[in-house]
Chain A
Amino acid sequence: MSQQHYYVPEQSHWPIVAAVSLFLLAAGTAHALIHGQSLLLLIGLVGVIYLFVGWFSTVVKENQEGLLNDPQVDRSFRLGMSWFIFSEVMFFAALFGALFYVRHLAVPWLAGEGDKPMNVLLWPEFINSWPVMNPPDTQLFQGPTTTVDPWHLPLLNTLLLVTSSITLTFAHHALKHEKRITAINWMLATIALGIAFLFVQAYEYYEAYTHLGLTLHAGIYGGTFFILTGFHGMHVTLGTIILIVITGRLMRGHFSPQRHFGFEASAWYWHFVDVVWLGLFIFVYVL
C-alpha cells in the first residue's frame, strides 16, 4: 500500500481540544497556586481526561476499521513512541544529574571542601554528609530524623516492579502465540503488581512524613528524594492506566499475534519505568 499511495489522516478536532484543555490545565494550576483555588484547573482536568479518552478512542476506532493498516503508519507510530521515551529518559537524566551534583559537589563545597571554602562566610557549623540530616540553616529547613531503610519497603517495591516486567513479557509471548486468555491473565497480574507498587510507595511517603521527618521541607535530601520518587510514581500511575486500557482492548480482541503496536508501546513504557526505578533504588535508596 505504501508503495502506491501514502496514507494521510483526516482532519480532526482533537488537537484543538487538546490545546485548549492543556492551556486551561496550565493556567488553572498557576492560578490555583497563586490564589489557593481555581475553577479553571477543574475544567482543565476534565478537559484533559475527555481529550485522552476521545482522541485515543478515535485512533482505536480508525485502527479497527483498518485505516492504519499500513506499514509506513506503523513505523511512524513506533518512531514517535521511541523518541517520546527518549525525551522522558532525558527528563530523568536531568533529575539524576541534579542529585549527583548536590551529593558530590554542592554539599561538600558548602561544608568547606575545595579551593573556595565558603562555609566560613555562610554556615561554619555545616558538616558534609549524605543524606543531609542537618541542613545548613536548621531554622528554615528541619532535616529528617532517619532515612528510609532500602532493604525494607524499597526492596519490596523493586521486587514488585521487576516481577511486573517479567509478567508483562509473559503476556506478550502469550499474545504472540495466540493464547489470548493466558495473555489477559498475565496482564491482570502485571496491573496488580503495578497497583501494589503504588500502594507501597504511598505507604512509604506516609511513613516518611509521619515517622521519619522526611518531608519536602527537609532540605536538599527531602527535595531530591521526593522529586525523583514522585515523578517516577506519576509515571507508574500513568503506566498502570495504560496497561488497564490495553488489557481492556485485549479482552475485546483488538490485537492479533502479528499486529499489536498499542500493546508493544505500553510494554516499552512499562519497561522504561522499571529501569528508572532500578536507578532510583541504587542511587536514591541504597547508596
Chain B
Amino acid sequence: MDAASDIAHEAQHHHGPASGLSRWVFTTNHKDIGTLYMWFSFLMFLTGGSMALVIRAELFQPGLQLVDPGFFNQMTTMHGLIMVFGAVMPAFVGLANWLIPMMVGAPDMALPRMNNLSFWILPFAFTMLLMTLFMDGGAPNFGWTFYAPLSTQYAPPTVNYFIFGVHLMGISSIMGAINVIATIFNMRAPGMTLMKMPLFVWTWLITAFLLLAAMPVLACVVTMMLFDINFGTSFFNAAGGGDPVLFQHLFWFFGHPEVYIMILPAFGIVSQIIPTFSRKPLFGYASMVYATASIALLSFIVWAHHMFTVGMPLAGELFFMYATMLIAVPTGVKVFNWISTMFRGSLTFETPMLFAIAFIVLFTIGGFSGLMLAISPADFQYHDTYFVVAHFHYVLVPGAVFAIIAAVYYWLPKWCGRMYDERLGKIHFWWSFIGLNLTFFPMHFIGLAGMPRRIPDYALQFADFNMLASIGGFVFGFAQVFFLFIVIRCITSGEKAAANPWEGAEGLEWTLPSPAPYHSFGTPPKID
C-alpha cells in the first residue's frame, strides 16, 4: 500500500481515481472528499429531519400523543446536535472541498491526507452518537446546548459517549479549518491576490479562523464536564465553589462563533449566485470582505446575549446588548450589497437564484427577530420560548440550508457534468418555501404568546398554530426527499452541461470542463 517506490513513481504524473470502495476510503482527492462530505451531510439532514418530524408529530395536538417526554427530550437534543454538527457544518466543508481549490486555481487542498481524516472521523463520531439511542438510560436528553447541571449531575450515563463524540467532531473541524487556511494562503495561483478571491473563498477563510478559535473552547468545556461527571471536580457545581453559569459562558463563547460558522459560508454562496443571475459584478466587493471580517470579530464579544436571564450584572447586560446590536451594521451592509447587485440587473430566476433570493428575504426576517432578542429587557419575555425557536430556524433553514441547496443546484453541472431538471428544481423551491414558512412563521406567534420550547405538551390556546407548524414540517420534510430524487435524476440522466452552463457566471471553476477533471489544475492557471 505505502510502498515507497510506488509513491515515487506515481507522484511523477497525476492520474484518475482508483476503482471500487478503496477510492472512497483511501482518497486524498478534494472532489472525492467533497462528495463524501455532501452525501454524509444529506444523510444526516434526513436523520435529523426525521427526528424533527417526531417532535412535530408529538406537537400536532396538545396532550401526550405519541412518545414519552423523556424520548421527546432525546429527540430535541439529537435533532439539534445532528443538524448543527452533522448536516450544516459538513455540507459547508464539502462545498469548501469541492470549490476552494477550483476557485483559487489549485490542484487540490494543501493537506490532502489530513483532509481524508477530517471526513472519515465524522461517520464514526455520529455512529457513536446515534448508538446512544439504544443504550441504557437513552440518548443525551439535555438539549443541544447541554447546560450543566442537566448534562452533569442529572445526565444519563451515555453523556460520556456524547462528550467523546463532540471531541471527535472538534478534531475533524479543526483539521478541516487548518486545511482551508493552508489551501487559501498557499495554493492560490500566481496573480490570484487576496482581494481577487471569490467571496465564497473569503467567507470560508474567515470561517476557518472562527473554527480554530471556537472549537478548542468546546473541547475545553466538554472536558470539564467529563471531570465533573467522572472525577469529582466541581467546575459547574456551586457546592464546591464552581458555577453552572461558568458552563454557559464557556459554551456560548464557542456557541456564538459557531452560529456564524454556519452562516458565513452561506453569505459567500449567495454572493456568488446573485451576481451570476443578475449578470452584474457583485456590488461592493471590498465592503463585503470587511463586513464578513467584522461580523467574525464581533462574534467573539456577544456570547452572553444567550444568557440575559441568568442574573448577570447590569453592565454585562448592557454591554452584550449593544455589542449584539452592532452586528446588524455589517449584516445590513451585506444585505444592501446583494440587493444593489440585483438592482437594474438582467435578472433571471433559475432555481439557484430563487433559493438565493429567498435566502436574502427570509434570512433578513431571522436577523430582525434576532435584533428583537438582542434587546435585553425584551429578551426576558422571549427567552426560551418558541420565538427563539422561530428566530434560529429562520436563520438556519432558509439561511444555511437554503444556501447549501442553492449551491448544489448552482455547481451540480460542474460536479457531475449534467444539468438538473429546471422545472423540478422550481417545484422543489416553491414546495420547500411554502413548507418552511408554514412551519416556522407561526412559531413567532406562539412564542410571543408564551409557549416554552422543548416541551412535549402545551396549553390549548397554542393548538391551532402548532397544528399548522406540524403540517408545514411534514411538507418541508418530504420536499427534501424530492430534492434527493432531483439530484439522483440529474446525476444519472440529466442533459450534458457545458463548461459554463450559466450565462453570467464568472470565476476559475467555470474555465474547467464539466465535469471538472480529477485534479483541478495540474499547472497554475493565468489570472489577469
Interface residues of A (CB under 8 A from B): 3-16, 18-20, 22-23, 26-27, 29-30, 33-34, 58, 61-62, 65, 67, 72, 75-76, 79-80, 83-84, 86-88, 90-91, 93-95, 97-98, 101-102, 106-107, 109-110, 114-116, 122, 132, 135-137, 140-141, 215-217, 219-224, 226-227
Residues of A within 8 A of B46 (CB): none
A169 to chain B, nearest CB (A): 26
B7, B114, B171, B177: which contacts A15 (Cβ < 8 A)?
B114
The docked-state distance in angstroms from the alpha carbon of A216 to that of B27 is 44
Write the chain A residue with the least CB distance to B110: A76
Q: Is the CB of A8 within 8 A of B14?
A: yes
Contact present for B238 and A110 (CB under 8 Å): yes
Residues of chain B lying within 8 A (CB to CB) of residue A33? 160, 226, 230
Chain B count of residues within 8 A CB distance of the other chain:
89
Q: Which of B117, B213, B226 contacts A90 (CB 8 A)?
A: B213
Chain B residues near A79: list those with CB within 8 A.
110, 178, 181-182, 185-186
> Which of chain B's residues have a CB closer than 8 A to the CB of A27?
128, 161, 164
Chain B residues near A107 (CB-CB < 8 A) = 241
Would you call B459 an interface residue if the criterion is a C-beta within 8 Å of the partner chain's C-beta atoms? no
Residue in B11, B178, B212, B250 whose CB lies within 8 Å of A98: B250
Nearest to A141 among chain B residues (CB) is B240
Instruction: Kindly identify, within residues 127 to 167 of chain B, every residue whose CB is under 8 Å from any CB belonging to chain A.
Output: 127-128, 157-158, 160-161, 163-165, 167
A6-B107, A14-B2, A27-B164 are known; give 20 further A-B pairs, CB within 8 A.
A12-B113, A19-B117, A22-B171, A26-B128, A26-B168, A30-B128, A76-B182, A80-B111, A80-B182, A86-B212, A94-B217, A102-B242, A110-B238, A115-B313, A140-B240, A141-B241, A215-B232, A217-B233, A219-B234, A223-B234
A135, A137, A216: the one within 8 Å of B231 (CB): A216
In Å, the complex CA distance between A6 and B232 comes to: 53
Measured CB to CB, the nearest residue on chain B to A131 is B241
- Name 17 interchain pairs, CB-CB below 8 A, sorted by A: A8-B107, A9-B113, A11-B18, A26-B128, A27-B128, A33-B230, A34-B157, A34-B160, A58-B2, A67-B7, A67-B11, A76-B187, A90-B217, A110-B238, A136-B239, A220-B235, A223-B240
User: Which residues of chain A have C-beta atoms less than 8 A from B116's C-beta?
Assistant: 12, 15-16
**Assembled-state Cα–Cα distance A101/B18 (Å):** 53
Interface of A is mostly: helix
**A3-B524 contact in complex given A33-B160, A79-B185, A217-B232, C-beta closer than 8 Å:** yes
> Is B213 touching A30 in the complex (CB atoms < 8 A)?
no
Measured between beta carbons, the chain B residues less than 8 angstroms from A30 are 128, 160-161, 163-164
Given A11-B18, A79-B182, the answer on whether A97 and B124 have CB atoms closer than 8 Å is no
Chain B residues with Cβ below 8 Å from A29 are 160, 164
**What residue of chain B has the Cβ atom nearest to residue A71's Cβ?**
B186
Q: Which residues of B contact A (CB under 8 A)?
A: 1-2, 4, 6-8, 10-11, 14, 18, 22, 25-28, 106-108, 110-114, 116-117, 120-121, 124-125, 127-128, 157-158, 160-161, 163-165, 167-168, 171, 174, 177-179, 181-182, 185-187, 190, 212-217, 219-221, 223-224, 226-227, 230-235, 238-243, 245-246, 249-250, 253, 311, 313-314, 519, 521-524
Query: Which of A5, A18, A67, A102 is in CB contact (< 8 Å) with B246?
Result: A102
Q: Which residues of B contact A93 (CB under 8 A)?
A: 217
Give the distance in Å from the alpha carbon of A79 to the alpha carbon of B7 in the complex: 24
What separation, in Å, do the CA atoms of A224 and B524 have in the docked complex?
A: 51
CB nearest to A68 among chain B residues = B11
Q: Which residues of A contact B14 (CB under 8 A)?
A: 8
Check A216/B171 contact, CB under 8 A, given A4-B523, A83-B181.
no
Residues of B within 8 Å of A58, CB to CB, are: 2
Given contacts A22-B124, A67-B8, A79-B186, contact A98 B240 (CB under 8 A): no
Within 8 Å by CB of B241, from A15, A86, A110, lies A110
- Shortest distance between the CB of B200 and any CB in chain A (Å): 20
- B233's contact among A5, A14, A76, A216, by CB below 8 Å, is which? A216
Q: Using Cβ atoms and an 8 Å threshold, which residues of chain A touch B235?
A: 98, 220, 223-224, 227
Residues of A within 8 A of B8 (CB): 65, 67
Structural contact, B220 and A6, CB atoms closer than 8 A? no
Q: Contacting A16 at CB < 8 Å: which of B120, B128, B171?
A: B120
Q: Could you tell me the distance between the alpha carbons of A286 and B82 in the complex, rounded to whole angstroms?
A: 44
Q: Considering the chains assembled together, what is the distance between the CA atoms of A224 and B10 in angstroms?
A: 51
B216 touches A62 (CB 8 A): no
Q: Is the interface of B mostly helix, strand, loop or mixed?
A: helix
Q: Which chain A positions have C-beta within 8 A of B523?
A: 4-6
**What is the CB-to-nearest-CB distance from B197 to chain A, in angstroms, rounded to a whole number?**
16
A90 to B220, CA, bound (A): 9
Q: List, in ascending order, chain B residues with CB within 8 A of A12's CB.
A: 1-2, 26, 28, 113, 116
Scoring B161, B214, B224, B242 by chain A CB atoms within 10 A of each residue's CB, the highest score goes to B242
Nearest CB of chain B from residue A6's CB, rounded to whole Å: 4
**Residue among B224, B230, B231, B240 with most chain A CB within 10 A:** B240
Nearest chain B CB to A140 CB, angstrom units: 5
Q: Nearest-CB distance from A262 to chain B (Å)? A: 16
Shortest CB-to-CB span from A227 to chain B, Å, is 6
**Cβ contact within 8 Å between B2 and A90:** no
9 A-B pairs with least C-beta separation: A220-B241, A23-B124, A137-B239, A223-B233, A26-B164, A19-B120, A106-B243, A91-B216, A15-B117
A16 touches B25 (CB 8 A): yes
Inter-subunit contact A11/B28 (CB<8 Å): yes
Q: In whole angstroms, how far apart are the Cα atoms of A23 and B127 in the complex? A: 10
B241 touches A90 (CB 8 A): no
**Residues of B contacting A10 with CB < 8 Å?**
6-7, 10-11, 28
Residue of A nearest to B219 (CB): A91
With contacts A83-B212, A220-B240 taken as known, whether A227 is within 8 angstroms of B223 at the C-beta atoms is yes
Q: How far is the CA of A281 from the CA of B454 in the complex (A)?
A: 44
**B241 and A26 within 8 A (CB):** no
Which residues of chain B are within 8 angstroms of A217 by Cβ–Cβ distance?
232-233
CA distance A215 to B25 in the complex (A): 45
Residues on B with beta carbons closer than 8 Å to the beta carbon of A135? 234, 239-241
Residues on the A chain within 8 Å of B179, using CB: 80
Task: Assess whether A6 is in contact with B522, with CB atoms less than 8 Å apart.
Answer: yes
Q: Collect the chain A residues with CB atoms within 8 Å of residue B190's CB.
A: 3
Closest to A90 in B: B216
Question: Contact at A9–B187, with CB atoms within 8 Å?
Answer: no
Which residue on chain B has the smallest CB distance to residue A75? B186
Complex CA distance for A67 and B12, rounded to whole angstroms: 10
Contact A26 B167, CB 8 Å, known A67-B8, A88-B216: yes
Please name all residues of chain B whose beta carbon is closer than 8 Å to the beta carbon of A19 when the two chains form the complex: 117, 120-121, 124
Q: Which residues of the other chain, A, contact B249 by a CB distance below 8 angstroms?
A: 97, 101
Instruction: Please report the C-alpha to C-alpha distance between residue A226 and residue B5 in the assembled complex, in whole angstroms.
Output: 48
Chain A hits for B314, CB < 8 A: 115
Nearest chain-A residue to B10 (Cβ)?
A: A10
**CA of A54 to CA of B253 in the docked complex: distance in angstroms?**
37
CB distance from B442 to the nearest CB of A (A): 36
Which A residue's beta carbon lies closest to that of B1?
A: A13
